[in-house]
Structure 1
Amino acid sequence: MGDDSSERQTPTRRDYMKYGSAVIGGGLLTGCASQSGSESTTTAESSDTATGETSATTTERGSYAVRMSPMGEVTFDEPPETVFTRLTHHAGMAFALGHGDDVTAMHAPDYYDGLWNQYVERLPGVSLDWTGLYSSWKPDKEELYALESDVHLADPAWITQQENWDAADIDEIAENVSPWLGNSLSDIHREPTGDYAEGYEYYGLWEQFEVVAEAFRERERYEALAAVRDDLLATIEADLPARSERPTAVMIAAADVDEIYTYTMNTPGFLTAHTRPLGPRDAFEGSVESNSVIDFEKLLDADPDVILHLGGMEPGTDMAERRTAFEEDAVASKLSAVKNDRVYAQGARYQGPILNLFQLEMTAKQLYPDVFGEWPTYERGPYPELSGEEQLFDHERVAAVIDGDV
């Protein structure tokens, strides 16, 4: 193993991060407690509502602990300063808490840097640079030693589903580098396997964000952003049309017209945290599973009023070209959404709290323009600039919170 910790003669800051203040007394308090096997798999919060309750416990000598499944209780001596992530909902949480530039690794960093910055453009004074980070979709254990991150915002239950990882490797990194703190199987309520098959709990996006905020000692930032979200959801809920008056919709992703993936919008999990509160009617009426490959014939059978096009906000995507491809196809051109100019760009499903706010706003306008205001015709480039009256949440307020003005 490439770890050089055995050469250290005195405890370092990282030692305190891993073990808590008990290292001072000679006993090692591990940063990641073992998972309880006595619990059954449970759904903690499928509606993505924030609890508003603290999830941190202060221990002796100033250390503190937070709890998240599947790790159990995780102890810190001081807030993390560098952050390993695998999926972008966790990187987005670090960003929301003012620690976006402290991320050391993430999946497809250059791609997501470009996508996230489409939205950051509308946050005055906020900047973000994830380019050139270690790409961690299939993380290498030696690389985690080399990065020496203060916390691993990643789900051990999913990491151990990757090649060359098991529970012993998870424990090794927790003991020799830093704790794990993350939950990813809540994305679509996936079934855990192996050592994590029992007792796994599911979290809404903002529930999980609350725990992460406690780990970073950023309770005020979390509460300020949660208040913005609460107001946004109240605005949506107050004016949401009756179900019978809502449009039928589908969410798709397509690199070209020959391979189209479709995704559900009202099912549990944080991947639908920006569509489920808006309650669009599924054009497929439940007959197509999420992540299914379909063709235009199948799409025409459903004939949605609205098509939400994932990846449409990518910097390299031209939505005008995508719409033209639909209009020029003999089958797709018959779709109601195509004929009525209701093919809209979407961003990412693995969204952190900030993208969740933006995507709630944009999707509300895309689905219900008569209620929440028209979504500007979008072809490419940053998130459209909306006036204060057009915004469904205060963009400047969010920017200020990220910058530390709570």
Structure 2
Amino acid sequence: MDTTRQFGSSRRTFVTAGIAAGGAALAGCIGDTGSENGNGSGDGSYTVSMAPMGEMEFDAVPEDAFVTFTQYADMAVALGHGDAVSTLFAPEMSGTTMNKFYERLPGVSFDWEGLENPLENGVTKEQLYGAESDVHFLDPSYVLTTQNDWDASDIEEIADTVAPWVGSYHSGVHSEPADAYADSYEYYTLWELFEKVAAVFQERERYEALRGVYEDTLSRIESDLPPEDERPTVARVTLGDGVFYSYHLNTPGFWQAETRPLGARDALADVEWSGDWGTVSYETMLEADPDVVLHLWGITSSYAIGDIRQRLESHAAGSELAAVQNDRVVASGMRYQGPIMNLFQLEMTAKQLYPEQFGTWPGYESGQPYPEIPEDERLFDRERVANVVSGAATDGQ
């Protein structure tokens, strides 16, 4: 079957900066005038520049988005394009978690039911040709590093004949990209990545308005942080079968977007691992003995925080942890967070770590929405965010 001929005549147009087979993609030029902000060329088309894909040209705002990780779905919702999301990683877990936050934003919700998990059986060219999406929110470097039957020429083929790739997986923890992009990869913060997605959807005003909320929230948090020597020691982990899957707090990358700004002392700072996350034993945790345990994924449907506490309390070493004894094992959020999720997770984590400065965290009951916070103790304005998402206001006021 001539797939290029069959699917190449769709309404989507994409111009790549050229990914040579076996070579590197041309680096996105952040300083290019107009490209990275999605400026038009006068005929309805517009370009977005981003590493490692280079310069991409769209002939229309995407209406059907192949979405992988949750941050891109959250970004689409934030920009008023949630209906464009046609696939989602672990849809039930991701979708219900997103809606736990959105419950506190009047008029905002996400319809995840019926979405397929695009990563469940691996990524194939046949899958992408069949989906005929307008954009693929997936880092091509992720594809090359996780799928054995892909090479750079396959990436170029899909970009040329179906739709662009838009993503930056390795920005999560600044991990190494595929060899094909070794000289062209750039790392983006969460909000820089959101800016690129906003350019794809041509939603600059919404992006700037939400960025304003974030900057106000960040400024408020930073101004009230206690001195460093008065901050708690914290372990950011997920309890597994006899081990803890571990993550750092203050290292670069958007997986730490809700912990790094809070500047707590990382109880596992001296523990190293080679992958995107590590594993530590109960013995190592007991040696570190953190004041607070942030249980990553604890707010998702995959874990019940009450069960986690019970498992730790019933374990000989776990029961000795100061965080367990002082009831400071708390449900944390998702590392795959977009801008809306980031605002809530910043607020949540600030209260969990610094209740004297930011108000007491009311706790989280598994399966329930994000808890209601008294209006005078909220770290950002819910109505302001909801109005931006709904399009009622894009001036950040």
After TM superposition, the score normalised by the length of structure 2 is: 0.90
**Which residue of structure 1 aligns with residue 256 of structure 2?**
272
Assess if the C-alpha contact under 8 Å between 1:249 and 1:282 holds in 2. Answer: yes
The answer as to whether partners of 1:2 and 1:142 remain within 8 angstroms in 2 is no
Tell me the equivalent position of 2:228.
243
Change in CA separation of 1:134 and 1:241 when aligned onto 2, cut-off 3 Å: same
CA RMSD for the aligned pairs? 2.4
Q: Return closer, same or farther for 1:263/1:109 CA change in 2, 3 Å cut-off.
A: same
Whether the 8 Å contact between 2:36 and 2:50 is mirrored in structure 1 is: no
Deviation, 1:40, is: 11
Task: Map residues 359-370 of structure 1 onto 2, 5 A cutoff.
Answer: 359-370=345-356
- In 2, the alpha carbon distance for the partners of 1:111 and 1:5 equals 38
Q: Which amino acid aligns with 1:398?
A: V
How far off its partner does 1:209 sit?
A: 0.7
- Cα distance in structure 2, aligned partners of 1:164 and 1:115: 33
1:223 aligns with 208
Change (3 A) 1:309 1:401: same
Aligned to 2:303: 317
1:294 corresponds in structure 2 to 280
**What residue is the counterpart of 1:354 in the other structure?**
340
2:69 maps to: 87
User: Secondary structure at 1:232's aligned position in 2?
Assistant: helix
| Per-residue Cα deviation, 1:234-276 (whole angstroms, up to 9, x for no partner) | 00111111111110000011244x1321110100011001100
With normalisation by structure 1, the TM-score equals 0.88
CA distance in 2 between counterparts of 1:292 and 1:329 reads: 21
**Aligned equivalents of 2:355 and 2:386: distance in 1?**
26
1:274-331 superposed Cα distances (whole Å, 9 cap, x missing partner): 1000011011342243622222221110010000001211235322222122222221
Q: How does 1:13-52 map to 2 (within 5 A)?
A: 14=11, 17-19=12-14, 30=15, 32-34=16-18
Within the alignment, does 1:400 sit opposite 2:387 as a pair? yes
2:238 corresponds to 1:262 = no
| 1:197-223 superposed Cα distances (whole Å, 9 cap, x missing partner) | 212111101001111101111011101
1:164-202 Cα deviation digits (max 9, x unpaired) = 221111111112211112211111111122321212111
Q: Is 1:373 paired with 2:373?
A: no
Q: In 2, Cα distance between the equivalents of 1:288 and 1:168? A: 35
For residue 4 of structure 1, report the CA deviation from its aligned partner.
8.0
For residues 125 and 189 of structure 1, the distance between their equivalents in structure 2, rounded to whole angstroms, comes to: 35
Task: Find the aligned partners of 2:179 and 2:304 in 1 and give their Cα distance.
Answer: 43
Q: How many residues align?
A: 381
1:79 partner amino acid: V
Aligned to 2:111: 129
Separation in 1 of the partners of 2:345 and 2:197? 21
Please tell me whether residue 142 in structure 1 is matched to residue 129 in structure 2. Answer: no
CA distance in 2, matches of 1:285, 1:251: 11
Question: Cα distance, 1:55 vs. partner?
Answer: 2.6
Partner letter of residue 220 of structure 1? Answer: E
| Conserved? CA contact 2:25–2:53, under 8 Å | no
2:93 to 111, 115, 122: 111
Question: 1:400 and 1:262 mapped to 2: Cα distance?
Answer: 37
Native 8 Å contact 1:155 1:183 kept in 2: yes
Aligned mates of 1:95, 1:5 — CA distance in 2? 33
Report the residue type matching 2:389 in the other structure.
I
Distance 2:157 2:211 in 1: 35
Pick aligned residue for 1:328 from 286, 303, 314? 314
**What secondary structure does 2:251 align onto?**
coil
Does the 8 Å CA contact 1:110/1:132 hold for their aligned counterparts?
A: no
Decide whether the 8 Å contact of 1:35 with 1:70 is kept in 2.
no
Equivalent of residue 167 in structure 1, options 132, 152, 159: 152
Deviation at 1:140, TM superposition (A): 2.0
Q: Indicate whether 1:62 and 2:44 are aligned.
A: yes
Asked if structure 2 preserves the Cα contact closer than 8 Å seen for 1:18 and 1:174, the reply is no
2:190 matched to 1:205? yes
Aligned counterparts of 1:167 and 1:330: Cα–Cα separation in 2:
51
Q: Supply the distance in 2 between the matched residues of 1:212 and 1:60 (Cα, whole angstroms).
A: 21
Moved more, 117-126 or 64-73: 117-126
More deviation, 197-206/395-404? 395-404
1:56 Cα deviation after fit: 2.9
Is the CA contact 1:92–1:353 (under 8 Å) kept in the aligned structure 2? yes
Change in CA separation of 1:5 and 1:54 when aligned onto 2, cut-off 3 Å:
closer
Contact 1:74 1:181 in 2 (8 A): no
Are the counterparts in 1 of residues 26 and 51 from structure 2 also a CA contact under 8 Å?
no
Q: Give the equivalent residue in structure 2 for 1:72.
A: 54
- The structure 2 residue matched to 1:252, chosen from 237, 240, 255, is 237
- In structure 1, the residue corresponding to 2:148 is in which secondary structure? coil
**Aligned to 1:55, what secondary structure does the other structure show?**
coil
